[in-house]
Amino acid sequence: MGAGKSSVGKRVAKALGVPFTDTDRVIVREHGRIPTIFAERGEPAFRLLEADAVRSAMSTGGVIAVGGGAVTHADTRAALSGARIVLLTVSPEAVAERIAGSDRPLLASGGLDAWQTITDERAATYAELAHIVVDTSRRPMSHVVADIVAWVRDPNRGAP
């Protein structure tokens, strides 16, 4: 959450000449605002919509940005099977600027403390799924994108 998945993903897809899908945007387009879905239907219903969006994006291919909590749902993890997964990380100091004034439902009451708790709870799952980890805290986006593109083109080069 707040690591730059959409911004980085869009640029990586452009550099690779492949489609880009932001599953959160797909959900918003098809079902309405995410905070509204959380408020009216709850997180479990949202995670089902998210799993469907990920499955659909996987069938299209290209670069897919999934919400930070997507991997908490077994159906989403199954849909991502076989994908090369990049985990973008961000420090608490850097994310504080990025999430200020956010309408993210899981941060509604708690802000940075909630972000840290959520990040800590998901850390083991992220570590299990990620093939490489790229920190976006203070590096220019162009460097982050270049590192990921280089890894996609040559996965044997290892993490940046």
Task: Flag whether pLDDT at 102 surpasses 80.
Answer: no
Cα–Cα distance, 148 to 137 (Å, whole number)? 15
In this structure, the strands spanning 20-22 and 63-65 are parallel
pTM score, whole prediction:
0.83
CA 82 to chain centre: 17
Q: Is the pLDDT of residue 159 over 80?
A: no
Please determine, for residue 108, whether its predicted confidence score (pLDDT) is greater than 70: no
Q: Is the dihedral of CA 107, 108, 111, 113 positive or negative?
A: negative
Q: Which of 30-39, 49-58, 92-101 has the lowest mean pLDDT?
A: 92-101
**CA gap 54, 76 in Å, rounded:** 7
So what's the pLDDT on residue 99?
Answer: 60
CA distance 117 to 97: 17
Q: Cβ distance 69 to 118 under 8 Å?
A: yes
Specify the range with the lowest mean pLDDT, choosing from 22-26, 79-83, 105-109, 144-148.
105-109
Phi, psi of 118, deg, nearest 5: -65, -45
Residues 83 and 76 sit within 8 Å (Cβ to Cβ): no
Which fold does the domain 5-157 belong to in CATH?
A: Rossmann fold (3.40.50)
Residues of the chain with pLDDT > 70, as a percent, come to 87
Domain chopping of the chain, boundaries: 5-157
Output the six-digit token pair for 44: 């479990």
Q: State residue 106's pLDDT score.
A: 47
Name the average pLDDT for the chain.
Answer: 87
Q: Which two tokens stand for residue 150?
A: 């280089």
Distance CA 84, CA 64 (A): 10
